[in-house]
Amino acid sequence: MEQYTRRENLRFNNIEEKDKEDCKRVVYDILEKELGVDTTKIRFHAVHRVGKKIHGRRRPIIARFVCREDRGKVWSVRGKIKEYITHADAFTPVLSRRNGRY
């Protein structure tokens, strides 16, 4: 069940982290400037960094899209920055079963 709720998410990796940043604004800027996506109709349930803050480490940003079609649109145009955008939060027990460790 949990993997179905996570399919609206994308993970943005290796994005510079700043104090008191607005993660939603950071993601919108990436979509607009790097991918050329019109973000006027793209909405998010939540956008936040995950994990503990550790000096010198860039925590990933998880973006949960309101509409799965918007997520799909971003996924399909990730092109030149695809190494920075991945499926978010693959459900650990599912991955473990696939790898024979569960």
User: Which pTM was predicted?
Assistant: 0.79
- Residue whose tokens read 């349930």: 45
- Given a cut of 50, whether residue 102 has pLDDT beyond it is no
- Given a cut of 80, whether residue 91 has pLDDT beyond it is no
pLDDT one-digit tens code per residue, 4-54: 567 789 999 999 999 899 999 999 999 999 999 999 999 999 999 999 998
Residue 12 main-chain phi, psi, to 5 deg: -105, 115
- Given a cut of 70, whether residue 3 has pLDDT beyond it is no
Q: Domain residue spans in the chain? A: 2-98
| C-alpha gyration radius of the chain | 14
The backbone region for 14, taken as left when phi is positive above 0, alpha when psi lies in -120 to 50, beta otherwise, is: left
Mean pLDDT of 67-72: 92
DSSP, collapsed to helix, strand or coil, labels residue 44 as: strand
CATH number of 2-98: 3.30.70.1820
